[in-house]
Each structure stands twice: as C-alpha cells, then as structure tokens.
Structure 1
Amino acid sequence: MITTRTAKQCGQADYGWLKARYTFSFGHYFDPDLLGYASLRVLNQEVLAPGASLQPRTFPKVDILNLVLEGDAEYRDSEGNHIQASAGDAVLISAQPGISYSEHNLSKDRSLTRMQLWLDACPERENPLFQKMTLAHQPQQLIASPDGRDGSLQLRQQVWLHHLEMDKGEQRSVPLHGPRAYLQSIHGAVHALTQNDEKEALTCGDGAFIRDEATVTLVADTPTRALLIDLPV
C-alpha cells in the first residue's frame, strides 16, 4: 500500500533567514498523527540564507543525516569537532547526549539548501561522531546502512537509505527488508507501483508512505532524483 503526502500538505516555515518544509511534526508545526514513521523521526528540507547559522542545540540520541543539495555547509559540535560539506555530499552526525551541534552556511552570497533526516539510534551502538561521503551519479546508491556496506555511511539503526537518479522512462525495483518504507522525491516526477498494480505519482517535494510491500518499483516520468528509506523497524 502506498499513501502519498504532497509537498503542499507538509508543514511550512519562513523566517526570512530560514525557509523550511516539514514532513513530520517539528518546531512550531505539530500534527499528532505525524510524529514520525517507524524509526524516522524527522524529514525536513531547509534553505539557509547566505551567512546564516542554526545555533548550537542538543538532540536526543538520533542519527542526523544531512544531504546538501546546493551550497556549502559546516557542522560543528561543542567538543570542537567540525566537518564541511558541499552540494552532492552527505554528512552523518551521531548525536550524543550533552553535546550541542550547530550548522553554518559558509557562503556570504549563496543560499544553503539541504535535506535533513533524524533516525532513532540504538542505545548500545556507538559510531564515529561525523561521517561524510560524496554521492555518485548512478541510478541507485546505498548511502546509509547498519553495517556501512558498499562504502555507505554507518547508522546506529536497522535502516537502509538509497539515493536514486533516474532518466525519463527508466524503471527500477528495490527489494525492502520489512513492512515499511518512505519515498521522498527531491526533484522530478516519478510513480511507484505495488505488487497489486497500485500506482501513486509524486512530483518535486512529494513523499509517500509504503506499507506491506516486499519490493517497490519506481518509474521515472521525468529525470528524477529521490530517496528511498527502508524502515523495517
């Protein structure tokens, strides 16, 4: 079963220096029916104005994945660690209790656009504080997984996150580990097919809840870029 959540249905914020779209309850946006999905707690797309910063804050024990779409970012923690990322990079932060984290747009004349995901972390798992990778331009790339396979970032949770780049008319089937997944369109138009021939179409910024499917098949209606988040637990 596939249930679409369009970009227009998401929470919105515009503070001038920060513009945001929230898939789930976040900040001032609250919906008791949308507090997350399985271990996926947050899925935001945010634009920071030139030179803007998100000030230091602490987080629950989550893995924070930042996918930089445009611009240049720096992430810092209160222990003096820092890492920089540019468009096409993914940064994974293993948030720790008592440590604060900040984000900075390094450019004084360009906006920073990125997607951010929070995933519940298993309490007994410890990973490097910061991990980084550059995405390859290929039809399907595993960018995060529990064991770091195929050069992916290593999560503290049983989640597999795929980055997809598809040409118009291209079809791709992805097997899933369990009963739940979430599909997020970054740009372009794509439709998803289920084993019962159910079809759901997504355009730029739309998402879709996927339930009780062993495999999801995607067909690109235009050149498409998307994330598929495999969430068995």
Structure 2
Amino acid sequence: MITTRTAKQCGQADFGWLQARYTFSFGHYFDPKLLGYASLRVLNQEVLAPGASFQPRTYPKVDILNLILEGTAEYRDSEGNHIQAKAGEALLIATQPGVSYSEHNLSKEKSLTRMQLWLDACPERENPPLQKITLTDTAQQLLASPEGSDESLQLRQQVWVHHIELEKGEQLSFQIHGPRAYLQSIHGSFHARTQQEENQTLTCGDGAFIRDEANITLVAGTPLRALLIDLPV
C-alpha cells in the first residue's frame, strides 16, 4: 500500500532566517497522528538564510542525517568535534545525551538548503560522532545502513537510506527489507508502482508511506532526485 503525503499537507515555517517544511510533528507544528514513522522521527527540508545558525542544543539519542542540497554548513559539538559539509555531501551526527550541537551557514551571501532525517538509535550501539560521504553520480547510492555497507554512513539502527537520481523515463526497482518504507521526492516527479500494480504519482516535495510491499519500482516522469528510507523496525 502506498499513501501519499503531499508537500502542501506538510507543516510549514517561515521565521525569516529559517524556512522549513516538516513531514512529521516538529517544533511549533504538531499533529498527533504524525509523530514519526517506525524509527524515522523527523524528515525536514530547511533553508537557512546567509549567516544564520542553529544555536547549541541537545537532542534525544538519534542519528541525524543531513543531505546538503545547496551551500556549506559547519557543525560543532560541545566535545570539541567539528566538521564542514557542502552541497553534494551527506553528514551523519551520532548524538549523545548531555552533548550539545550547533549548525552554521558559513556563507554570508548564499542560503543553506538541506534535508534532515532523525532516526532513533539503538541504546546499546555506539558509532563515531561524525561521519561524512560524497554523493556519487549514479542512479542509486546507499547513503546510510546498519553496517556501513558499500562505503555508506553507518547507522545505529536497522535502516537503509537510498539516494536516487534518474533521468526522465528511467526506472529503478527496490527490494524492501520489511513492512515499512518512506519515499521522498527532493525534486522532480515520478510514479511509484507496486507488484499489485498500485500506482501513485509524486511530484516535487511529496512523500509517501509504503506499507507491506516487498518490492517497489520508481519511474521518473521528469529528471528526479529522491530518497527511499527502508524502515524494517
């Protein structure tokens, strides 16, 4: 089953220095029916104005995956770790209780645009505090996985995150590990088709809940960039 959640249905925010779209309840936006999906707690697209910052704050024990779409960001924590990430890179922050984290748009002229995911971390697992990879010029790249397979970022949870780039008319099929997955269009439109021939159309900014499907095929209607988040638990 595929259930779409269009960009217009998502929570919105415009604070001047920050513009955001929230898939799930976040900050001032609250929907008791949308507190997350399996271990996916947060899925935001956010634009930080030139020179803007998120001041230091603490988080629950989650893995924060930032996919930088435009601009350059710097991340710091209260333990002295810091790292920069630019467009075309993905960064994973393994948060810890009692540690605070900040984010800064390093440019004084350009906005910083990124996708951000929070994934619940298994309490007994520990990973390096910061990891970073560069996106490849391929139709499908494994961004993050439990074991860091195929040079992906290593998560503290049984989740697989795929980055997808297709040209118009191209298609890509996935075998899903468990009963749940989430699709997110970053830009472009596509059809999501199941083995039972259920077909849904998603366009720029739309998402979709995938339930009880072993396989799914994506067919790009335009040049497409998207995420598939495979969520067995």
> The TM-score by the shorter chain falls in which range?
over 0.9
Q: Are 1:22 and 2:41 matched, yes or no?
A: no
Per-residue CA deviations over 1:89-132 (Å, capped at 9, x if unaligned) read 00000000000000000000000000000000000000000000
CA distance in 1, matches of 2:162, 2:154: 13
For residues 1-233 of structure 1, the aligned pairs below 5 Å read 1-233=1-233
CA distance in 2, matches of 1:66, 1:74: 11
Identity of aligned residues (%): 80
CA distance in 2, matches of 1:89, 1:74: 12
CA distance in 1, matches of 2:36, 2:232: 14
Q: Secondary structure at the match of 2:113?
A: strand
Q: Secondary structure at the match of 1:55?
A: strand
Letter of the aligned partner of 1:90 in structure 2? A
Deviation at 1:12, TM superposition (A): 0.2
Per-residue CA deviations over 1:11-63 (Å, capped at 9, x if unaligned) read 00000000000000000000000000000000000000000000110000000
Q: Secondary structure at the match of 2:138?
A: coil
CA distance in 1, matches of 2:92, 2:190: 27
CA distance in 1, matches of 2:177, 2:196: 19
Per-residue CA deviations over 1:154-200 (Å, capped at 9, x if unaligned) read 00000000000001001110101000000000000111001111111
The gaps in structure 1 that reach 5 residues or longer are none
CA distance in 2, matches of 1:167, 1:175: 21
CA distance in 1, matches of 2:207, 2:141: 19
CA distance in 1, matches of 2:156, 2:3: 27
CA distance in 2, matches of 1:216, 1:70: 29
CA distance in 2, matches of 1:44, 1:156: 20
Letter of the aligned partner of 1:91 in structure 2? L
Deviation at 1:80, TM superposition (A): 1.1
CA distance in 2, matches of 1:108, 1:163: 29
Letter of the aligned partner of 1:55 in structure 2? Q
The gaps in structure 2 that reach 5 residues or longer are none
CA distance in 1, matches of 2:145, 2:113: 24
Q: Secondary structure at the match of 1:116?
A: strand
CA distance in 1, matches of 2:80, 2:172: 42
CA distance in 2, matches of 1:205, 1:88: 18
Letter of the aligned partner of 1:80 in structure 2? G
Q: Secondary structure at the match of 1:60?
A: coil
Letter of the aligned partner of 1:52 in structure 2? A
TM-score, length-scaled by structure 1: 1.00
